[in-house]
Amino acid sequence: MKLSLKNESGFTLVETIVAVMLFTLLWGACVLIYISGSDSWQTNSVRLELHQEVRRAIARVTEDIRESGTGSITDVPADGNWYDTITFRKASTVGSGNIVWAANTTSYYVGGAGLDQLIEQTGVSTTGVAALDITSVQFRRQSATADIVEVNMVASKDTFRGRNLSVTVNFDIQLRNG
C-alpha cells in the first residue's frame, strides 16, 4: 500500500499562518476603532460638562452683578486692570427714588480645595460654590464704561485618560443700577 498525500484535505502551515495573521490584523483594527470611539466619547462628555459649568457660572455671576451699581463695586475700580475678585453690594429696595443697598457684600473668586471652584461669598461667613471646574476668573471695568463689567473665565478638566480640556469665555455685564 502506497500512501498518497494528494487526496488528504486540511490546511498547510503557510495557510494557517496567513489566516492567523489576517485575523490578528482585523482584531487589532477593531480594538483601535473601539479605543478611538471610547476616547472621543469621553472627551465630548467632559467638554459637555465644562460647557454646562461655564453656563451655570455665567448665569449666576451675571444675575448678581447686574443688581449692583458702579459705586457699589469695591475692589474692581474703573481703571482697565484685571482683578481676580469682585466684591459688591446688590440693590435691595428703592426708597424715595433712591436705591437702598443690601447690608452684606457679595464676592466672587476662584477657590476651593483644588482651586477649581467659583466661590460666591455673601457677608462674612456665608460661602457657597457657584460652579465647579472654574480655574480662573477675572473682572475689569474701563473708565469710559464704568457701568460694564468685563469677565474672563476659564474652565478646565481632565478626561479619564488624562487629556486636559479647557474652555475660555469672555462676556460683559451691564450694571442696572447707577
C-alpha to C-alpha distance for 161 and 72, rounded to whole angstroms = 45
pTM: 0.77
Q: Does the pLDDT of residue 9 top 70, yes or no?
A: yes
Write out pLDDT tens, residues 61-88.
Answer: 999 999 888 888 989 999 999 999 999 9
Q: Which of 96-105, 108-117, 127-136 has the highest mean pLDDT?
A: 127-136
For residue 125, what are the domain limits? 41-174
In-domain check, residue 78? yes
In-domain check, residue 18? no
In-domain check, residue 95? yes
Average pLDDT taken over every residue of the chain: 88
Write out pLDDT tens, residues 138-171.
Answer: 999 999 999 999 999 999 999 888 889 999 999 9
In-domain check, residue 74? yes
Q: Does the pLDDT of residue 5 top 80, yes or no?
A: no
DSSP line for 122-167:
ETTTEEEEEEESEEEEEEE--STTTTEEEEEEEEEEE-TTS-EEEE
Q: Does the pLDDT of residue 2 top 70, yes or no?
A: no
In-domain check, residue 3? no
Q: In the chain, pLDDT over 70 holds for what percent of residues? A: 95
Q: In the chain, pLDDT over 90 holds for what percent of residues? A: 54
Question: Can you give the pLDDT at residue 11?
Answer: 80
Q: Does the pLDDT of residue 103 top 60, yes or no?
A: yes
Beta-carbon neighbour count of residue 118 at 10 Å?
A: 27
Question: Can you give the pLDDT at residue 6?
Answer: 61
Question: Can you give the pLDDT at residue 120?
Answer: 93
75 with 83: CB under 8 angstroms?
Answer: yes
Q: Look at the chain and report how many structural domains it folds into.
A: 1
In-domain check, residue 145? yes
Closest CA to 170 of 87, 62, 48: 62
In-domain check, residue 169? yes
Write out pLDDT tens, residues 43-58.
Answer: 899 999 999 999 999 9
